[in-house]
Amino acid sequence: MDLNDTPEQAQFREKVRSWLEEHKGEAPVLEGPDALTEEDEIVAARRVWQRKLAEGGLAGATWPKELGGQGLGPIEQVIISQEIAAAGVPGILDVIGVGMLGPTLIAHGSEEQKQQFLGPMLHGDEVWCQLFSEPAAGSDLAGIQSRAKQVDGGWVLNGQKVWTTNAQFSAYGLLLARTDPEQHKHKGLTMFIVPMDAEGVTVRGLRQITGDAEFNEVFFDDVKIPDDAVVGGVNNGWGTALTTLMFERLTIGFGSEGLGYRPERFAGRIAEDPEASRNGEVRQRLGHIATDLMAVRFTGYRMLSALQQGQIPGPEAGLSKITTVNAGIQATELVADIVGPDALREDVENPFAYHTSFLPGLKSAGGTEEILRNTIGERVLGLPPEPRLDKGIPFSELRAKEKAAAS
Ligand SMILES: Cc1cc2nc3c(=O)[nH]c(=O)nc-3n(C[C@H](O)[C@H](O)[C@H](O)COP(=O)(O)OP(=O)(O)OC[C@H]3O[C@@H](n4cnc5c(N)ncnc54)[C@H](O)[C@@H]3O)c2cc1C
């Protein structure tokens, strides 16, 4: 493929760049001496910024026009991300909503759901969270045990979710629950829209090693949800969830822009140290990192090419995710080897402290490295599949269910 902008893309890039030039003074400051520090201030400022980006056509660019988007292709979305990164301003706050859950509603939601929820989501008025993972269902997502039972006029939900990013300020969550335990574990699942302020929903923050509490555990005790909260049909939840997971892999798989950090900044930090930048071993390690990131960039272009031609990229998105995360971790390790314990000192001059402690967690987010390697082994290299002991067995007969019943 030709890696240069076409005349139309160059014109689009210029339009995005000049919008950002005009408005970047209104963006929230998240780094440096003037950075906002309180979570509620940051969230409020980022919501206002998301609204501006949406009004400028820089959020949800690939959403259909009739649903508030721009009806553009994936290449234009990448151009927007590149220009936002180059302008040094934050992107949208609700990456999970606009990038993953909105597209799921667009693909599987009813007309009423699309009309009610997508506009406020795009403009940052209502933030969304992804209520999939549970204490015993992460990699094995189809093993979820949260139960929704049908009652007159709706459903009653009980169970627990975990690692739910942004739940502490979300208005809604997209939740996967078991609705028929007599079916095989991938089949008796249903996707629901759950208002996070519904009676019986409890959100508890989980403190991370970074010191922040960006994700949560969420408990559901007899939460009543109406019939029209079902997305994509009763017991069709696995198919609906696969759409979300595909968009998640794409969001993360495109590399550092999707992950919200820019590894080249680590190289800048190393170059500031004259002794380190002349050291042969340091230069070699930096070279390895740079080569990996370059390979990710070109794999990303291949994925874009596939998307542009209407194809769905294959498991190579997983390979990009593994490589990007590992390159980021190696870069933080290199900085730590050079500056010593100061690499972890939180101060306004050192945004790397956060990345040093945050990046290892990304090995798990959006599919763990081991699971992605399994997928690549099976689907790209044609290796034999993992042994599956649960195939064709009703969920109610699996051990996880027995354990839950015993506890
Ligand atoms: C920063 C972050 C944000 C997140 N945000 C959300 C969110 O908003 N919503 C949400 O629903 N979830 C979220 N998650 C959860 C994430 O999806 C899970 O962490 C992930 O799916 C892995 O599940 P687990 O943590 O339960 O690990 P487990 O599945 O218990 O795995 C533990 C270890 O065992 C390995 N393992 C498991 N099965 C196999 C196998 N078959 N072969 C080889 N190795 C295996 C794994 O690779 C891993 O190393 C987030 C996680 C992180 C780190």
Which of 134, 248, 257, 316 is the catalytic position?
A: 248
What is the number of the ligand 1 atom nearest to the C-alpha of 137? 26
DSSP-derived 3-state class of residue 302: helix
Contact between 114 and 101 (Cβ < 8 Å): no
Neighbouring-strand partners of residue 201? 220
Query: pLDDT tens digits, residue range 53-79?
Result: 999 999 999 999 999 999 998 889 989
Query: pLDDT tens digits, residue range 5-59?
Result: 899 999 999 999 999 999 999 999 987 788 888 889 999 999 999 999 999 999 9
Query: pLDDT tens digits, residue range 275-304?
Result: 888 899 998 998 898 888 888 888 888 888
Pocket flag, ligand 1, residue 365 (CB < 6 Å):
yes
CA of 227 to the centre of ligand 1 (A): 30
Name the token pair of 305.
């090419």
Q: How confident is the model at residue 264 (pLDDT cuts 50, 70, 90)?
A: low
Give residue 122's identity as a one-letter amino acid code.
L
Write the DSSP assignment of 78-123 as a string of letters.
HHHHHHHHHHT----S-HHIIIIIHHHHHHH--HHHHHHHHHHHHT
Mean pLDDT taken over the chain: 89
Pocket flag, ligand 1, residue 368 (CB < 6 Å):
yes
248 belongs to the catalytic site:
yes
Name the token pair of 212.
């922040």
For residue 20, how far is the Cα from the chain centroid? 24
CA distances from 376 to 59, 139, 389 (A): 31, 15, 21
How far apart (Å, rounded) are the C-alpha atoms in residues 248 and 258? 10
State the DSSP code for 201: E
Which residue has 């139309």 as its token pair? Answer: 8
Name the token pair of 65.
């026009």
* CATH for the stretch 128-235: 2.40.110.10
How far apart (Å, rounded) are the C-alpha atoms in residues 157 and 21? 47
**Dihedral angle of Cα 36, 42, 45, 48, to the nearest 10 degrees:** 160
How far apart (Å, rounded) are the C-alpha atoms in residues 340 and 175? 43
What is the number of the ligand 1 atom nearest to the C-alpha of 370? 47
Contact between 240 and 232 (Cβ < 8 Å): yes
Which of 189, 207, 364, 390 is the best mutation target for the ligand 1 pocket, counting ligand atoms within 8 Å of the beta carbon and taking the most? 364
Q: What is the mean pLDDT of residues 324-344?
A: 86
Contact between 169 and 203 (Cβ < 8 Å): no
Strands 128-131 and 172-178: parallel
State the DSSP code for 216: E
Pocket flag, ligand 1, residue 138 (CB < 6 Å):
yes
Which residue has the CA at smallest separation from atom 23 of ligand 1?
Answer: 138
Which residue has 């007309």 as its token pair? Answer: 111
Res 366: pLDDT: 83
Q: Closest Cα to residue 336, out of 382, 285, 295, 384?
A: 285
What is the number of the ligand 1 atom nearest to the C-alpha of 165? 8
Contact between 53 and 16 (Cβ < 8 Å): no
Return the percentage of the chain with pLDDT > 90, whole number: 55
**H runs (alpha helix) in 313-382:** 316-339, 352-358, 369-375
What is the number of the ligand 1 atom nearest to the C-alpha of 139? 29
Which of 368, 371, 372, 374 is the best mutation target for the ligand 1 pocket, counting ligand atoms within 8 Å of the beta carbon and taking the most? 368
> Domain limits of the chain?
7-93, 128-235, 254-367
How far apart (Å, rounded) are the C-alpha atoms in residues 61 and 77? 6
Query: pLDDT tens digits, residue range 210-231?
Result: 888 889 999 999 999 999 999 9
Which residue has the CA at smallest separation from atom 20 of ligand 1?
Answer: 138
Q: How confident is the model at residue 1 (pLDDT cuts 50, 70, 90)?
A: low
Query: pLDDT tens digits, residue range 88-130?
Result: 899 999 999 999 999 999 999 999 999 999 999 999 999 999 9
What is the pTM for the complete model shown?
Answer: 0.92
CA of 367 to the centre of ligand 1 (A): 6
Q: Closest Cα to residue 78, out of 22, 120, 16, 30?
A: 16
Name the token pair of 122.
């795009």
DSSP-derived 3-state class of residue 278: helix
Name the token pair of 237.
């939840």
Determine which helix (DSSP H) or strand (DSSP E) holds 248, and give its type and residue range.
Answer: helix 237-253
